[in-house]
Amino acid sequence: MRPWVIRAFRDTAVSRWWGGPGGLPTTPAGVERAAVMVFLGVRLVNLLQLAVTLPAAVGHAARPVLFTAVLAGFAAESVLIAVVTVRAGEYRDRRWGWADTAVAALVLLAQPAFTTAADVTGDWTAWGFACTLSTAVGAAIVFARRRAVALAVLVLMTCYLATALPGVDSGSTRATVVGNAFAYPGFALLSRLLVGYLRRLAADADTARRAATRAAAEAARMREVERQRLLLHDNVSVLHLLARPDLPGELGDALKAQAVALANRVRTFLDDAADRIGAEQADPKGPDEVCRRPLAAIVRDAVVAYPDLRVETSLDLAAGVGLAGPAAEALRDAIGTVLSNVRVHASASRVVVHADADPDEGEWELTVTDDGRGFDPATTPYGFGLRVQVEQNLAAHGMSTHVHAVPGDGTRVTVRGRLTAVDAAGRERLPEEPR
């Protein structure tokens, strides 16, 4: 085949359907296009079979001119219905179904005029029976009501039997004609079952896709709600403290500074959400390769907002450990939430933040320990801060959390994460610690 012929075939729906990926969609529209292909494919196969034997069939016909005229009319009607159905992408217009049935009936009725009794069952001169089987297939596709399909099949059977039976004498040939007649309901029934099943599958698939789309939209909405709750949680704590009439003077300035920082975060969230999403989508390397912040810097960013707390940090053992973009932000917010809980609930005199890294275990660990009043986890469930902003939010970024609390003996929050190859390289570049 010439290259342009190959390219033309590759661009057809049949080629895409045959190839699988990129072919007909599993939607109602895709099923209707497939049904059109099946109907036109059966018609095309019949006509190609006739074309192979056409010279001999014309030569054997009793009236070659009439034979050729009837065949030309049927072929023209087939081309017309092919153009209409392919453009529409479906075969659902009942008017074309009845028109095709009428043309098929005329072909069958005209057949005795150009054939002999010997041609009825054994020669392509009597091509009407084979070529009108596709009409039964089309009737099963085009008509929505079963009684319309039955009526079309009955018309085809009646016309075939009325023209074929009178010309045959032997019992075996008569039985063959009657057996052939039952091919019409057989083809129609099988086509109806197949296309009906595919239509139900496509409808169910569409329903499932709509349900999945709604579920995804609801999940996205809930994620956005959680993001907003995470953002506002610490703001509420600061506002509550600022509203206290007995607020210590030395705490006021720290809270005001923290309130300004939190307000700026809210404003950034409102103004730049779309820009952040666009930047993440535009960066082919993804956020993990864009910017890694040292773990020590993340801790210091969180601690600096709580100057009223006596916080001691021990971070040297985690030097070289870093977190990328969203994970760093999540850890900073989680540490801030823990310190906010200490400020509001613990009445602690001392807080220790300790970080360590264990290359053998392949993980780093961060603990925030206070000497406050503690609580009993069995009787005091975690609030939104510990449950969502600490545990769930860190888990979403691959970090695990453990809270150990004893009434009267303080609380310890432990966060663990995996060391990456970048972390290991960073640690290898550190100068050797003095012995």
Query: Residue 91, CB half-sphere, CA atoms under 13 Å: how many?
Result: 29
Three-point CA angle 336, 317, 411, nearest 5°: 40
- Which of 414, 394, 392, 417 is CA-nearest to residue 404? 414
Residue 139 CB partners (closer than 8 Å, separation 6+): 97, 100, 101, 148, 149, 152, 153, 188
Per-residue model confidence as pLDDT tens for the chain (435 residues): 455 545 544 555 555 555 555 567 888 998 999 999 999 999 999 899 889 988 888 888 888 999 899 999 999 999 999 999 999 999 999 999 999 999 999 999 998 888 876 676 667 788 888 899 999 999 999 999 999 999 999 999 999 999 888 877 777 778 888 898 999 999 999 999 999 999 999 999 988 988 998 888 888 787 777 767 766 666 676 776 776 777 766 676 677 766 766 676 666 666 555 444 444 444 444 444 446 889 999 998 888 888 888 899 999 888 889 998 889 989 998 998 899 889 888 889 899 999 999 888 889 999 999 999 999 888 888 887 888 889 988 998 999 999 999 998 899 999 999 987 666 555 544 434 433
Place of tokens 């999403």: 277
DSSP 23: S
In order of their start, the domains of the chain are 3-210 (no CATH), 289-435 (3.30.565.10)
Inter-residue contact 326 to 314 (CB < 8 Å):
no
